[in-house]
Structure 1
Amino acid sequence: MLVSGAGIAGLACALELGTRGHDVTVVEYARHLRLTGTPIDIRGDAIETVDRMGLLAKIQKRRVRMSERTQFVDSAGEPVAPIPMAEISDSDDDIELLREDLVRILAEALPDTAAIRFGDSIETLTDGGESGAGVDVHFASGRIGRYDLVLGADGQHSAVRRLVFGPEEDYLRHLGVYFALADHPGEALSEGANSIYNVPSRMAGVFRYNGRAVAVFQFRSEPIDYDHHDLESQKKILVEAFAGHRSWRIPELLDAALADPGFYFTSASQIHLPSWHRGRVALVGDAGYSPAFLSGRGTSLALTGARFLAEELDRCRDDHTAAFARYEVRQRPYVTFAQNRVHSGRDRMLPTTWAAIAARNEALRAMRTTPDGPQQTTPRRAGENAE
């Protein structure tokens, strides 16, 4: 069995299938595991999934409380509003941890029946259909292979989806937001809360964890055409998005982004497909049903998707068509829920005017309560963050 992508979805598939006795090869375009990224959340039934994997105790040991230490600030760096924890979390059982920790935990748990091949990718697929011939795969490296099944777990810009289902634009729904992340080594030893600063339709922030710091950006925009492998063009897009904004620490954070060779840039986009399988090929995680980072549920969907697919392949034995269909029936409600949860988060993080920023902050301060009831706050003028 071939899995494309060694992210969370691909590693979870390799673990779930490998421990059930399947021989699994994971092919990954990058030359190493991607460990960068802001903390992620494991929610709801995904917690049961990692428990069944035997990984819950390890994951809980790596738990962080990033959101509880995060606040909105003004142009002077002074706190103006808390993050609304009740809206971010589903329950107190939610587990927040660093993406790199979850990737390492999954990779270290892979059985001998699963192997990762880095620095390679799928170039063509030829599905033998119901004849039992399997799927013939040609790789960018020149290798060839035949596999019983191929799973696309290669993210929002999935090559497997493009090869089997058609162009990305046929299934992508852009939510009008872009996200960027960069290491900020000069900030790594600093103490204090994580800070988020807004100008209209944009945000910049600094997050600190485990002796490391990252610069985080979001901005509203119509779809932008760019090469997903060209970091320099992506950095240029970010700088242009913040052109003319020099308040708070925006210039400093942009400099950190320009200097980071591991800079990360993506859109807040969803993938909507009527089916996640065709022939002997199926999609898992963002490749099939990206909910966008604004949902906070991409990791959980990757985990439950890998589990449901592996369970159904076991139940249906050699009938992969039935297994894929049953996987979709089980996973679809989770995907629908996650994809419907994005818009409130976007409006909280990226108000479009100075007045909307001030109103957001005032509403969040009013939500904060003490044992004696709501705290009294002093109203601030609409331009409190003005440059």
Structure 2
Amino acid sequence: MRILISGASIAGPALAYWLTRYGHSVTVVERAPTPRKTGGHAVDLFGPAMEVAEKMGVLPRVAEMSTGTTRLTVHREGRRRPVTIDLTKIFGAVTDRHVEIMRDDLSEIFHHATRDHVEYVFGDSITALADDGQVFFDNGAARRFDLVIGADGLHSNVRRLVFGPESGFSAFIGAYLGVLSVPDSPHRAGELVEHLGVGRTAGMYGAGRPGDARAVFLFRSRHQLDYHHRDVSRQKQLLRAAFSGMHPEVDGWLDELDHTPAFYFDSITQLRMDTWSRGRVALVGDAGYCPGPAVGGSTSLAVLGAYVLAGELAVANGDHERAFAAYEREMTPLVLGSRAFARNAAKRLIPNSRLGTWAVLRGLQLVSALPTGASRALAKLNGKGLRLHDSMVIKDYPALASNSTNTSKTNR
């Protein structure tokens, strides 16, 4: 089949990889003019998603490009002495396999794994979809595809065209996320520095490259703020208002807003849709079931979703109606679990009282002090909570992958 994917970040290239493995001809269209190679924030790959990356043959490169963050230094607002946390103990408690990598590095790895067998069209986007498979674009000529997959993120263009406005599916869970590039400090290699206050937290970590770091800001808001998701000036204004005066170091990070090469700001919003497919169109990753940026393991969910969608299309021998239904059955429990996890994580990461900040810090200290085996055993008692992402079980499609051939170029 000829399949069009909208979005070349994480879910899109991952899906393209598996679809070409099963013999489909794949085109990926991306609004950005080139593959993104700067900016972005760190994302986590947990156990099952790492297994998928391993099946793709890219896990060694993923590990090589990891941020290498191993320790956390927390400055609690109003307290003089910082607390140091062993992050390897924290992640060791919640997962058996984990890597933190910059989002754009992971995107580039997936792009490189697929670029020889997938047609990438940058600097264009879909404007309309016809029932007969005809797809219209901003810049390119109209083309016909058998299926169209929206992998274009939380503010998906495909979802808007097929399902309607985002407001009908989004649920604000009370917080905002901001990320910007800042100069790194060599003496802080492997360290995440965090300032924790009531209703807000700010941190800085290295991006795994000399001189490159990210400042990350999370803050609570009872109501949704007034801004457009493309209005960068307004977003920076809101971020300054939320964090100004928190700490001189944080003020220094905010000063970088005037000349940062990369900036991201968005609400922590969940997508809650009853279905992720309609006709010959389906959604994958954040476009269909974002559990909440930075708090719900959305990157791992996107990698899993891409793997499952392609696998179910192969099992159904191209019967997209049967495949889409099976894909939704497989992914729904994982999505529901991630939504609940994200709501709880937002509360833990951004406590709304002084007692809450103390409790968060004490909890981290406790896990950091325990032997890894003991903390892992305690966490395993709560498989639907801290160990959620490792508890996810998905189908295995090895026979299909091994028996297929990469025919994407000859099928065009």
Give the structure 2 partner of residue 279 of structure 1.
Answer: 279
Q: 1:207 aligns with which of 200, 205, 223?
A: 205
> What one-letter code is carried by the residue in structure 2 that aligns with 1:320?
H
Q: Distance in 2 between matches of 1:323 and 1:52?
A: 21
* 1:39, distance to aligned residue in structure 2 (A): 2.3
Q: Mean alpha-carbon deviation: is it higher for 88-97 or for 103-112?
A: 88-97
* 1:367, distance to aligned residue in structure 2 (A): 4.3
> What one-letter code is carried by the residue in structure 2 that aligns with 1:26?
V
Give the structure 2 partner of residue 147 of structure 1.
Answer: 145
Give the structure 1 partner of residue 384 of structure 2.
Answer: none
Query: How far does the alpha carbon of each residue in 1:7-34 deviate from its partner, in whole angstroms, 9 at most, with x for none?
Result: 1001111111123221111111111223
Give the structure 1 partner of residue 239 of structure 2.
Answer: 238
Give the structure 2 partner of residue 229 of structure 1.
Answer: 230
Residues 77 and 248 in structure 1, CA contact (< 8 A), matched pair in contact too:
no
Q: Mean alpha-carbon deviation: is it higher for 318-327 or for 220-229?
A: 220-229
Residues 296 and 345 in structure 2, CA contact (< 8 A), matched pair in contact too:
no
RMSD over aligned Cα atoms: 2.3
Give the structure 2 partner of residue 191 of structure 1.
Answer: 188
Alignment of 1:74-223 (within 5 A): 74=76, 78-80=81-83, 82=85, 85-86=89-90, 90-110=94-114, 112-128=116-132, 135-141=133-139, 143-185=141-183, 187-191=184-188, 193-208=191-206, 209-211=208-210, 212-221=212-221, 222-223=223-224
Q: Distance in 2 between matches of 1:8 and 1:275?
A: 21
Give the structure 2 partner of residue 48 of structure 1.
Answer: 51
Query: How far does the alpha carbon of each residue in 1:253-279 deviate from its partner, in whole angstroms, 9 at most, with x for none?
Result: 111123214211111111111111000
Give the structure 1 partner of residue 391 of structure 2.
Answer: none
* 1:77, distance to aligned residue in structure 2 (A): 7.3
> What one-letter code is carried by the residue in structure 1 that aligns with 2:205?
F
Alignment of 1:373-384 (within 5 A): none
- What is the SS of the residue equivalent to 2:255? helix
Q: Mean alpha-carbon deviation: is it higher for 72-81 or for 206-215?
A: 72-81
Residues 81 and 362 in structure 1, CA contact (< 8 A), matched pair in contact too:
no
Give the structure 1 partner of residue 387 of structure 2.
Answer: none
Specify every segment of 5 or more residues in structure 2 that has no aligned partner in the other structure, as ranges. 375-412
* 1:38, distance to aligned residue in structure 2 (A): 2.6
Residues 37 and 100 in structure 1, CA contact (< 8 A), matched pair in contact too:
yes
TM-score of the aligned structures, taking structure 2 as reference length:
0.81
Give the structure 1 partner of residue 398 of structure 2.
Answer: none
Q: Distance in 2 between matches of 1:86 and 1:370?
A: 10
Query: How far does the alpha carbon of each residue in 1:106-150 deviate from its partner, in whole angstroms, 9 at most, with x for none?
Result: 11111533121111111111222xxxxxx2221122531111110
Cα 1:355–1:83 shift into 2, 3 Å: farther
Residues 295 and 346 in structure 2, CA contact (< 8 A), matched pair in contact too:
no
How many matched pairs? Answer: 363
Query: How far does the alpha carbon of each residue in 1:72-121 deviate from its partner, in whole angstroms, 9 at most, with x for none?
Result: 11458742363775478632322322323321211111153312111111
Aligned identity (percent) is 37
Query: How far does the alpha carbon of each residue in 1:321-354 deviate from its partner, in whole angstroms, 9 at most, with x for none?
Result: 1111111111222212211112332222212233
- What is the SS of the residue equivalent to 2:230? coil
- What is the SS of the residue equivalent to 1:249? helix
Q: Does 1:350 align with 2:353?
A: no
> What one-letter code is carried by the residue in structure 2 that aligns with 1:155?
G
Q: Distance in 2 between matches of 1:54 and 1:118?
A: 25
Cα 1:89–1:20 shift into 2, 3 Å: farther
Residues 181 and 213 in structure 2, CA contact (< 8 A), matched pair in contact too:
yes
Residues 285 and 305 in structure 2, CA contact (< 8 A), matched pair in contact too:
yes
Specify every segment of 5 or more residues in structure 1 that has no aligned partner in the other structure, as ranges. 129-134, 375-387
TM-score of the aligned structures, taking structure 1 as reference length:
0.86
- What is the SS of the residue equivalent to 2:291? coil
Q: Distance in 2 between matches of 1:344 and 1:83?
A: 22
After superposing on structure 2, the runs of 4+ consecutive aligned residues of structure 1 that deviate more than 6 Å are: none
> What one-letter code is carried by the residue in structure 2 that aligns with 1:350?
I
Residues 202 and 220 in structure 1, CA contact (< 8 A), matched pair in contact too:
yes
- What is the SS of the residue equivalent to 1:120? coil
Q: Mean alpha-carbon deviation: is it higher for 135-144 or for 332-341?
A: 135-144
Give the structure 2 partner of residue 380 of structure 1.
Answer: none
Give the structure 2 partner of residue 259 of structure 1.
Answer: 259
